[in-house]
Amino acid sequence: MASNKKSAIDFLNMVIAGRIDEAYQKYVDMNGKHHNPYFPKGFKELQKGMEDNHRQFPLKKFSIKNVLLVAVHSHLMFKEGEDGIITFHMFRFDKGKIVEMWDCGQPIQRNSPNKDGPF
């Protein structure tokens, strides 16, 4: 069985690539729950939101910056050339399936006083 880290990374990369149904079938326990405040409860609703997002932004770019336990720190750009957002996805697994997920995003600020940058 794949590690939870590998599963989380593979899940997110599949979603970004538009392989959302396959990602959910392979990695998500649909009876679990997510914590995204922009979508109603239930993984089915989050899956629909991901599908809508992929239709709207099919060429988005996504690069993972760190994987800590089963937390994924990444850079998401919806369109080429934009600054994008910093994202964190945190997963709880049970028997190799995602049963709970939290995600949050923060816009990248061009004129941030923090010269260390977002990554």
Q: Tell me, yes or no, whether 113 lies in a domain.
A: no
* Beta sheet of 61-68, edge-to-edge order: 28-34, 97-107, 85-94, 71-77, 61-68
Q: Tell me, yes or no, whether 44 lies in a domain.
A: yes
Mean pLDDT, the chain, rounded, equals 87
Q: Tell me, yes or no, whether 85 lies in a domain.
A: yes
Q: Of 19, 7, 22, 3, whose CA–CA distance to 101 is shortest? A: 7
- Does 58 or 4 have the greater pLDDT score? 58
CATH classification of the domain holding 80: 3.10.450.50
109 to 24, 38, 83, 112, 115: CA distances (angstroms)? 32, 22, 8, 5, 11
Domain count, the chain: 1
Q: What pLDDT is recorded for position 26?
A: 97
Structure tokens at 69: 């336990």
Q: What pLDDT is recorded for position 1?
A: 45
User: Does residue 55 carry a pLDDT above 80?
Assistant: yes
pLDDT digits (tens, 9 = 90+) for 70-91: 788 889 888 888 888 989 898 8
Q: Tell me, yes or no, whether 48 lies in a domain.
A: yes
pTM of the entire predicted model: 0.69
The helix/strand/coil state of 13 is helix
Q: Tell me, yes or no, whether 75 lies in a domain.
A: yes
Q: State the Cα–Cα distance between residues 106 and 85, nearest whole angstrom.
A: 5
- Find the domain containing 69 and state its range: 4-107
Q: Of 61, 63, 99, 102, whose CA–CA distance to 82 is shortest? A: 61
Residue 66 burial class via C-beta count within 10 angstroms: exposed 0-12, middle 13-18, buried 19 and up: exposed
Degrees to nearest 5, angle at CA 97 with 13 and 14: 15
pLDDT digits (tens, 9 = 90+) for 5-48: 899 999 999 999 999 999 999 999 999 887 776 788 889 999 99
